[in-house]
A and B are shown apart, each in its own frame.
Chain A
């Protein structure tokens, strides 16, 4: 075991404890950013002026009429930006645009004494627009060749030789939808300025350091004049990684110009129409199998629908490419990626960060091809699993590949898969109007930021003279339980009870230069930093204790609030030792740092070992589909998921359950619709409230839901042997989609291949059933021949050249 992963006796990590804020949440005491508004004196409220065009040039703007509205204090426009008019890190996201790039784009902001005054003021601002042609879906952008950013290519082996040697070659296309985050707390920032001009922004942000960077560059001031704090978020899911910055900057400009606190909280429709979402993708693919169904070659071109600006689209695309293999060994691979520019919101990070999109392409391919190969889909998947010693297409050895098989076998057994498959066959034979199916799918997901520089973290640990401990770290809390885990890590590393440790909110003036709480890496990175800080303190205290106990410092043990020698005997209470150390002038606080070792990645050739390890999981889902309507029920789900040695089992199981249901929402329910007509409303998001955007609710929960964590799953390379949990389980929901496909196919003749749209809403399932019943063709998969030939970029490839890999340009924590 490594020093990082080794657990002492009686660790607090691994204990089943509730969320650290549970007591506050159940009594309504927990504060979110907007709750601070009523505690703040003299707050002004900000309201956007949203453009009613998907693409247009602004030809005139008159703010005077707004100032005539009672209660309106100021209208913010481009002229008010003291620094750089840019809300992003790619310099393609003007905070106040001259050219409207999507329907609902904010062109000005009105500050009012009340939100109502600001709203009426926003209605009064006069703006003239010169409408321009708009592209509102990915196919239009491909046809118009409107792309933005990098065009990475990932290659291994000899693609032509792979196809030449394949017994079966299939090709097809697949377009699938994005997803709205719908964190229950909408975007919110509250900015104020102190007597020295220091800007303080409280923001619902997953990335306080980057919010700080953007506020600073918009204000034209150095970072040390801006402090950003995030108490907690009412959900983030990636939607608050990049998107909060511009809102925070608006609030900061307003506060600076008026001298009063400014609150900017989006209502739900503003949030839906203004903030980015998960990228939808378009994929062209060609795949070769040998006679026994083993993958031989994959040629694919993925086009991400990036929306109007680059945002995080490049790293999202990189992760999609790095996950198209999912759990499967493919010797010859060529995958091209590109980003379409469309007149929609700027699509951004969302739990999985492109990984789900890449993996969905592969799972869709296998689901469609299995019948054509005459193989059971379950068997086809299992047969192609990575084996120990094999590497991913980007050259990283697949460590612990056997865990996929272990998870698979455990789900097969505990989920009674064989028995139920027989029952399903019997059910289907005797029920003419409905069909059941059970599908199993694996997940392999790489953990670490793809971009090596982001894999660092800091923490600050204070031990006060009375022995009480206060920790702060660079990660943010959005419900995932990061703060709870950090308290457990600190208590374990210091050898004190959990109640001895308290946590202070995430602030940029406590821990600087932090990475986003993202990529599932929050606990790995910040846990490493908290542990490092605690160990510095313990090492100093060891010296004090050794002279009292009369033993060698390395024989001193810290456990459960007492300090003893390894052989027992005299017991020093923690508080007493700390107090003695203070009088000996021993430093009782420490700044901790952590960097993930062993990573390397060259994004220009998409090659390296970008991930510290892989997380694994397997799910089996059983559905029942009604043949008249396509309506379905999720009858049972069984999951075994690998979180290493869990830091906090109750929290980790909760993450698996929540991620699975969110994934099922993406794949089966949540249907973003933009107006694609030629009416003036072209480009308007039609699903702009929970009344039209269907989220998973109690009624879509699996009727039976069994989640188990993989046992004996110690991970050498991470804090206390644990693994990340935030994103990977989302992709277990592929099992639901594949079960729906198989149930739809079961309405047709045996062995038929059906297409299934994504999201697989009841309507989409209905069309799949209809296709199966027609039985005239095997969906839209072509066997052999020309079929679909993935586009190869004709121009020179534009490799990603991320800022974080440019050592000379360290000023902006961009990607």
Chain B
């Protein structure tokens, strides 16, 4: 067991965790943050993407102890109260989701990507999102949503 202190969606938690517990399992099982999901187990799909100190990481590919002393944002902490983040709003409006299972990861990746590149081209969006898989949408509307969010200033938030 190792002691960690980590701020998740604005709240600081101190917990004893198994040294080999994955961050995604810590979020889901210990904190009940089930908005972050597991798709592939092998760091291919990006469904488990969260932010670590503001940058996207795949939480199935990281240990909980590695988050010690850091700040994690999950999909559940992205909106500002009832006001959706522009990327969330764009995914909602552009029908950039079907089953929704990839959606939290897609949105966390898109927000991180837009921070680095607030005014991307369509091609840059495709490259920037390449590490996230969706089995339902065929990606077209996801690209549209990220571009729409960029137009709404989604990259500056």
Chain A residues packing against B (C-beta within 8 Å):
18-19, 21-32, 34-35, 38-39, 181-185, 232-235, 237, 267-269, 478-481, 650-651, 654-655, 657-662, 689-691, 695-699, 701, 705, 707
Contacts and interface: CB of A to CB of B under 8 A. Distances in A.
Nearest to A233: B99
B107 interface: yes
Interface string B24-63: 0000110011111101111011010000000000000000
Interface string B108-120: 0000000000000
Contact of A698 (B35, B103, B139): B139
B152 interface: no
B74 A662 contact: no
B28 A38 contact: yes
Interface in B77-136: 78-79, 84, 88-89, 91-93, 95, 97-104, 107, 125-127, 129-130, 132-136
A511 to B, nearest CB: 22
B141 interface: yes
A690 B40 contact: yes
30 contacts: A18-B95, A22-B100, A25-B100, A26-B91, A26-B92, A27-B76, A27-B88, A28-B33, A34-B34, A35-B37, A38-B28, A38-B29, A184-B45, A184-B135, A184-B136, A232-B99, A234-B99, A268-B40, A268-B41, A479-B97, A650-B95, A660-B138, A689-B41, A690-B40, A696-B138, A698-B139, A699-B127, A699-B130, A701-B143, A705-B140
Nearest to A269: B41
Contacts of A24: 100
Nearest to A265: B38
B75 interface: yes
B140 A657 contact: yes
B5 interface: no
Nearest to A691: B42
A22 B99 contact: no
Contacts of B74: 28
B76 A28 contact: yes
Interface of B: 28-29, 32-37, 39-42, 44-45, 47, 74-76, 78-79, 84, 88-89, 91-93, 95, 97-104, 107, 125-127, 129-130, 132-143
Contact of A26 (B84, B132, B135, B139): B84
B134 A23 contact: no
Nearest to B78: A27
Contacts of B125: 698
B95 A19 contact: yes
Contact of A234 (B29, B37, B42, B44): B37
Contacts of B143: 698, 701
A268 B48 CA distance: 14
Contacts of A695: 133, 135
Contacts of A707: 140
B27 to A, nearest CB: 10
B76 A32 contact: no
B18 to A, nearest CB: 8
A651 B95 contact: yes
B136 A35 contact: no
Nearest to A235: B99
A145 B91 CA distance: 52
Contacts of A657: 137-138, 140-141
B79 A27 contact: yes
A479 B89 CA distance: 18
A267 B41 contact: yes
Contacts of A31: 34
Given A29-B35, A235-B135, A185 B99 contact: yes
Contacts of A697: 130, 133, 139
A18 B92 contact: yes
A691 B44 contact: yes
